[in-house]
Chain A
Amino acid sequence: MTASPATFRENADAALANERLQTALAKLPGGLVAHRRAAVAAVPEFETLREEARAIRDATLDHLAAHLEAFETKATAMGSVVHWAADATGARRVVTDICRAANARRIVKGKSMVSEEIGLNAHLEAQGLEVIESDLGEYIIQKRGEAPSHIIAPAIHLTEADVEADFRSYHMHLPADRPLPNPESLVSEARGVLRETFLTADVGITGANFLVAETGTSIIVTNEGNGDLSQTLPRIHIVVATIDKVVPTLDEAMTLLRVLARSATGQDMTAYTTFATGPRRAADLDGPTECHIVLVDNGRSDMLASAMRDALRCIRCGACMNHCPVYNAIGGHAYGWVYPGPIGAVLTPALLGIAGTSHLPSASTFCGSCEAVCPVKIPLVSLMRTWRERAHEQGTGSRTSRALLSLWAYAATRPALYHLLARFGVAFGGALSRSKGRFSRLPIARGWLRDRDIPAPQGRTFQQLWKETERGVPR
């Protein structure tokens, strides 16, 4: 990962100037956003479902320890081995130990955001293991040495031409002059290369969209079938999931599934939704002989005790970023860590600390589009506002903005002074620009005014106008 949250401003500038990225991002409104709108319109009870989904997540978090214990008991009874990892280091160690004990050399992975979060691939590779991402988007960016730029569409920042160029340089065993005229041919080529990987891998690692306490089941939701091949062909299956993924019963899982795909890709169901429970049974002809489930905390229990608790409701659909004007302008890499968009602006400071990440919650107009589409109604705007307050309290952020905020706060808590200053500002501003009615240059807003003008005050404050109106209206 090259970018970091601390260099968000520079990352964003670079993203805005990157024409290829802008071409790729321009497809979002007509793609995932339009598809979600149609899918939601087709379900009259969708708003009720959102409320139900929120209630399920809240109720589960309220009794999280009991549900995790129930999950562990049932999963163990069904033949899985359940491991607990307090942090990223612990989780990496557990996975490495399982691979070592199995004499594994090659690992195939289904898509998993928590494995990105804990830096699993780099760690396993440093231990001499070969790790291959099998989700097509993840495969493409793994080869490029990039992080995902979206939680469900990791290569959304790339165009078809980018992928063609990449495949020509990676797949050197194929004829250099082969035609790759369209996405179909590129998908076909990747299918062939990855099929070989599935058949020769010793270990398959997947994430989990949900864990079901009632049955000890892990659920994955995919379209390609790569997660299914990852948890069926290799002799060992490892599920890596954070502790917030558990739900009590199959019924809650079904309700959440009904909002997940519709919010994510605008499908009512993805091609594959798979419930996996334990290793292969005695009579089965295929499937892994060992199934391990690694329950990762890595900051979640701290979030549970914090003001960020509501963010643990997240089911990782990506709707908040698809609908975010900031994400649409700069893409995911500018956020500098694993989780981009509004949920990233809330999660990243929670998991890494607000020092060095305070730009993320600041990069929002608080337009509220994210909240309006969140299937579990996370109050993303107020959570981002909380982070801004924390950043101010802890003295992070630029000196100029802190000084201006302090000045404003001084005036805003003294109404008489505030009105006086407002009247002066409005009158002075109005007089200054009377000829044009707008400003195209101001000393402290050069960046803002580069591409637009700002309307000038029209001579009187709101309070003055209000008083005049009140006087004029007969009672």
Chain B
Amino acid sequence: MNMLVCVSRTPETTAPVKFSADMSEYDGSGVNFIMNPYDEWYALVRALEVKESQGGKVTLFHVGGAESDAVIRKGLAIGADDAVRVDAAPSSSMFVAKQIAEYCKANAIDILFFGKETIDFNGAEVGAMAAEMLDMPYISFAIDMQLDGNNATITREIEGGKEVGEVQTPFALSAAKGLAEQRIANMRGIMMSKRKPINVIPAADAADKATVVKYAYPDAGGDVVYIEPDNMDELVRRLAEEAKVL
């Protein structure tokens, strides 16, 4: 099984969210960046489990500058065999998807793994776009995947329940909580990661179809107003007149 695990670099969950003065760009200064947890905990680990049970190769794929090498190194320490880094800023979902698609066209991939979303923009776009470009089946929000030869039975999370489907390799999936259990890199893995290659390649041409114009902070939360349970009229009045939701 040739597996490609697409990983992104995201700010740590506790990092304060800041923007440039004109609100046009995210300001990552002083922020600790990590591997997107859905990519690390579920997608990568499930790929490693497949490799351990039936052989194969796990390659990490990342679009980003050299500052991402620490994140990639972590994936290698957890157990990926090697990594490919497209040396370009991940300017949009479309741009990143295009890089993945171009790589997969040139390299036969049996399973293309994504996390269900990144924890910064929460777009959940890249996987679907890349699979579409490759004309590959795409199963999103996978919480279980069982492989039997080239046939996979995948359970995905849907509103109010689960959906079970079957698909044959090659296919792409996005990993949700439950697909695997987080693994922590051990010292041996960290040492071995130093000997594993990160192949840096130039970006394929891809025009951004969307650009960010401006960011805005959400409105600060208002004060909490307590209304006595026996004063329902007041609650209704406020919902109608002040919140204007009735």
A pairs with B: no
A residues sitting closer than 8 Å to B (CB atoms) are none
B residues sitting closer than 8 Å to A (CB atoms) are none
